[in-house]
Amino acid sequence: MNATIARLSFQALFGRRRGLVLMVVPALLIGLAVLIRALTEQGVGYELVDNVGFTLALPIVALLASSAVLGPEIDDGSIVYLLAKPVPRHAVATSKYVVAWLATLAFGAVPLLVAGLVIDSSDPRRALAWLVAGVVAGTTYSALFLGLAALTRHAVVVGLLFVLLWEGLLGGLLRGIRWLDLGAWGIEVGASVSSLVPPPGTGLTYALIASAVVALGSVWFAGDRLRSFTLRGDE
**What residues line the site for other proteins (CB under 8 A)?**
2-5, 7-8, 11-12, 15-18, 21, 25, 28, 32, 36, 39-40, 44-45, 47-48, 51-52, 55-57, 60, 63-64, 67-68, 71-73, 76-78, 80-89, 154-157, 160-161, 164-165, 168-169, 227, 229-235
* 191 close to 198: Cβ distance less than 8 angstroms: yes
Residues 5, 170: Cα–Cα separation, whole Å: 38
Compare residues 62 and 207 and give the one whose CB is closer to other proteins: 62
Neighbouring CB atoms inside 10 A of 137's CB total 32
Residues 93, 75: Cα–Cα separation, whole Å: 16
Compare residues 25 and 182 and give the one whose CB is closer to other proteins: 25
Write down the least CB distance from residue 229 to other proteins, Å: 6
Closest to 116 (Cα-Cα) out of 100, 102, 105, 130:
130
3-state secondary structure of 200: coil
Compare residues 125 and 227 and give the one whose CB is closer to other proteins: 227
From its phi and psi, is residue 194 left (phi > 0), alpha (psi between -120 and 50) or beta? beta
Closest to 13 (Cα-Cα) out of 54, 62, 55:
62
Compare residues 36 and 208 and give the one whose CB is closer to other proteins: 36
Compare residues 130 and 207 and give the one whose CB is closer to other proteins: 130
Q: In the chain, how many H helices and how many E strands?
A: 12, 0
